[in-house]
């Protein structure tokens, strides 16, 4: 491995961070400035047969990042249904990640 400019730091974020309501603070741009990459969870209003495979894909990607030695954190948002599904699905794989400090 030769490396490049990547941060090796990734944060899992709910859709509301990627698509904030008009007038809300743009946390995604903050994360960009501080060098984080993101794994974005699906919006909460999708049907289950769409949401579940998207959350499963997010879990698979986070596991690949963890296995590669990358730092992965959660943007705390327990009220978000997508985040709750993600945390539960990740737990069934035997993995956990901490909230972003």
Q: Which positions touch other proteins (CB under 8 A)?
A: 1-10, 18-19, 21-22, 26, 28-29, 31-33, 35-40, 42, 46, 49-51, 53-54, 57-58, 60-61, 63-65, 67-70
d(CA 46, CA 27): 23
Least CB distance from residue 43 to other proteins, whole Å?
8
Radius of gyration, CA atoms only, the chain: 14
Least CB distance from residue 92 to other proteins, whole Å?
16
Least CB distance from residue 76 to other proteins, whole Å?
19
Residue number, 8 or 76, with CB nearest to other proteins = 8
Q: How far is CA 17 from CA 11, 51, 60, 66, in A?
A: 11, 17, 21, 22
Residue number, 30 or 99, with CB nearest to other proteins = 30
Q: How far is CA 49 from CA 44, 55, 56, 93, in A?
A: 12, 11, 11, 20
Least CB distance from residue 79 to other proteins, whole Å?
20
Residue number, 35 or 76, with CB nearest to other proteins = 35
User: Which residue do the tokens 């948002």 mark?
Assistant: 77
d(CA 88, CA 17): 20
């Amino acid at each position: 491995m030769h490396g490049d400019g990547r941060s090796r730091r990734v944060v899992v974020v709910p859709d509301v961070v990627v698509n904030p309501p008009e007038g809300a603070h743009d946390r995604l741009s903050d994360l960009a400035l501080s060098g984080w990459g993101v794994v974005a969870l699906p919006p909460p209003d999708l049907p289950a047969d769409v949401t579940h495979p998207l959350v499963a894909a997010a879990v698979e990607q986070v596991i690949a990042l963890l296995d590669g030695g990358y730092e992965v954190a959660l943007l705390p948002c327990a009220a978000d249904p997508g985040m709750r599904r993600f945390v539960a699905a990740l737990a069934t794989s035997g993995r956990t990640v901490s909230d972003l400090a």
